[in-house]
Amino acid sequence: MMADEKQGVFDTSRAELLVKELREQFDSGKTKSYAWRVSQLKAILKMVDEREDEIVEALRKDLSKPKAEASMNEIYLLKSSCQCALKGLKKWMKPKRVIPSILALPSSSEIVSEPLGVVLVISAWNYPFLLSIDPVIGAIAAGNAVVLKPSEVAPVSSKLLADLLPQYVDNSAIGVVEGGKHETTVLLEQKWDKIFYTGNSRIGRIVMSAAAKHLTPVALELGGKCPAVVDSNVDLQVAARRIVAGKWACNNGQTCVDVDYVITTKNFAPKLIDALRVQLERFFGEDPLNSKDMSRIINLNHFTRLKKLLHEEGVSSKIVLGGHADEEQLKMAPTILLDPPEDSLVMKEEIFGPLLPIVTVDTVDDSFGLILSKPKPLAAYLFTNDKKLKKKFVDTISAGGVAINDTLLHLTVSGLPFGGVGESGIGAYHGKFSFDAFSHKKAVLYRCFFADIPIRYPPYSARKLSMFNAVTSLNLIGLIQAAIPCFKA
């Protein structure tokens, strides 16, 4: 389970062996115990705490992620997630009592949460620690054995995870497999009890397809074009700050829930652009390409992809701010475009970078049709003080999650499920939802032998039938009338 360069190619037989070993560990019952789960969660907390500097450094190397961003968006959120699980675990593990139905009386019933077994977590490159460890926290809290496949696109973080996890957690039940397409394919051929994937919808389909062979349930945390609708009746500076924070201060737009594009009225657009300009300068200075507070583009592949979006015909003329890039440093400046063509790539594909199209409409209500014409996104944002508009937005716009007058923050609320709908994904996690995502909710009904009612059994008769009728319509008199001849028999 260590970094595969030490042990040769990770092939099918190694994957089979890995799953077999983990299944043996799981079957021994070890991972089910409260004590084991707590020890693993504490170990993860310790790891994130003690090795914070190395983690931040790995993120700097992979993404040029600013220290503050790394601390806030990866370290802090992970610790918080761990602590939430530690605090809630006992309660989450307790069976939940349920009211029995009249047909099942006398009885008692409950829902018992049990681990699914051996689960696979496939992580992504943009928040390589958070998106690896957060699902693993859920898997462990629910009592499973886990294999984590970090993203090879963030190689330093991947290697660090492969080195650190075995030092802190029980690596007979929690493993890391590094690698790319080959290793992932080989892992996906195995029978898992759940697969948790974070990434894009193309690979999401491949994952689900592989899962279908074994009837493995999946959670797919995907993405989409997350819109931010901006009304004119807002505190403009705060709105602008929050949009900038939810775009460029978020891994430079390389985030599944960052603001992909803005929709505002024709009238308001110039004011909004000005406010964004002011805030961008405040955040990143006059020369953002050299700001230490902005991540770079992860690699040349994505850099080229983003350049292609920008240089498509009819698009570059729409640039109202930014547009500069430095290929050598893989840096791209915050870029705002005004009304690029509807059918341009930048308006059709998930941008995942520092380009922000602003689409103008006549009235804010027109934004609804535009959003609804696209696949359901992972998040949707609305900036307004108009109560009616807020209600309409929440009622009408289907997205994984919605934030009003801010961006991204909904994912920090542990009581809110974080997940997509439609093209943006299946399933959810965070907080107790993580525990639930990796659990089977087993129904349990307890009955005793006395008070056995003979009307349930054949031979059936008109009398028994009328007794059933009486019971279910709570017709006490009817029940007694029907029952008496029955007792005689």
Partner 1 sequence: MGTLATPMTSFSSSSCSTELVLPHTRYSNQFKSERSSSAVLSIMAEEEEREVFDANDATLLVEELRGHFNLGKTKNYEWRVAQLKGISKMIVEKEKEIIMALQQDLSKPETEAFVSEILLTKSSCEHALKSLQSWMNPEKVKTSIMTFPSSAEVVSEPLGVVLIISTWNYPFSLSVEPVIGAIAAGNAVVLKPSEVAPATSKLLADLLPQYLDKTNIRVVEGSVPETTALLEQKWDKIFYTGNGRVGRIVMAAAVKHLTPVVLELGGKCPAVVDSNVDIQVTARRIIAGKWACNNGQACISVDHIITTKEFAPKLIDALRTELERSLGKDAMQSNDISRIVNLHHFRRLTKLLDEDGISSKIVLGGRTDEQDLKIAPTILLDVPEDSLLMTEEIFGPLLPIVTVDTLEDSFNLILSKPKPLAAYLFSNDEELQKKFIENISAGGITINDAVLHLTVPGLPFGGVGESGMGAYHGKFSFDTFSHKKAVLRRSFTGDSTLRYPPYEPRYLGMLKALMNGNFLRVILVASGLYKP
For the four alpha carbons of 38, 44, 49 and 51, in that order, the dihedral sign comes to: positive
Name the nearest CA neighbour of 403 among 246, 200, 244, 199: 246
Q: Give the C-alpha separation, 112 to 443, whole Å.
A: 6
Catalytic, 221? Answer yes
E-strand ranges in 384-450 read 401-404, 425-426, 439-447
Q: Which one from 69, 74, 183, 221 is the annotated catalytic residue? A: 221
Indicate the helix (H) or strand (E) that contains 198: strand 194-198
354 binds partner 1 (CB under 8 A): no
Indicate the helix (H) or strand (E) that contains 149: strand 145-149
Q: Which one from 82, 226, 250, 256 is the annotated catalytic residue? A: 256
27 binds partner 1 (CB under 8 A): yes
Shortest Cβ distance from residue 337 to partner 1 (Å)? 22
Catalytic, 24? Answer no
Shortest Cβ distance from residue 56 to partner 1 (Å)? 10
Region binding partner 1 by CB under 8 A among candidate stretches 6-14, 35-43, 207-215, 314-322:
207-215
Name the nearest CA neighbour of 180 among 155, 211, 162, 212: 155
Out of 6, 286, 343, 459, point to the residue binding partner 1 (CB under 8 A).
459
172 binds partner 1 (CB under 8 A): no
Measured from the CB atom, is 339 or 366 closer to partner 1? 366
3-state secondary structure (DSSP) of residue 126? coil
CA 176 distance to own-chain centroid: 20
Region binding partner 1 by CB under 8 A among candidate stretches 6-14, 203-211, 313-321, 336-344:
203-211
Measured from the CB atom, is 356 or 403 closer to partner 1? 403
DSSP 82-93: HHHHHHHHHHHH
Return the residues of window 235-294 that contact partner 1 according to CB under 8 A. 235, 238-239, 241-242, 244-245, 249, 279, 282-285, 291, 293-294
Q: Give the C-alpha separation, 264 to 304, whole Å.
A: 29
Out of 13, 388, 415, 487, point to the residue binding partner 1 (CB under 8 A).
415
111 binds partner 1 (CB under 8 A): yes
Amino acid of residue 438 = F
* Measured CA distances, 270 to 338, 348, 434, 482 (Å): 10, 24, 42, 80
Return the residues of window 430-449 that contact partner 1 according to CB under 8 A. 440-449
Shortest Cβ distance from residue 472 to partner 1 (Å)? 6
Out of 321, 390, 478, 486, point to the residue binding partner 1 (CB under 8 A).
390
Shortest Cβ distance from residue 404 to partner 1 (Å)? 5
Binding mask 211-230 for partner 1 (x = CB under 8 A): xxx-x-x--x-x--------
Q: Give the C-alpha separation, 150 to 197, whole Å.
A: 10
Task: Check if the beta carbon of residue 74 is closer than 8 Å to that of residue 62.
Answer: no
Out of 42, 61, 67, 374, point to the residue binding partner 1 (CB under 8 A).
67
The catalytic residue positions are 221, 256
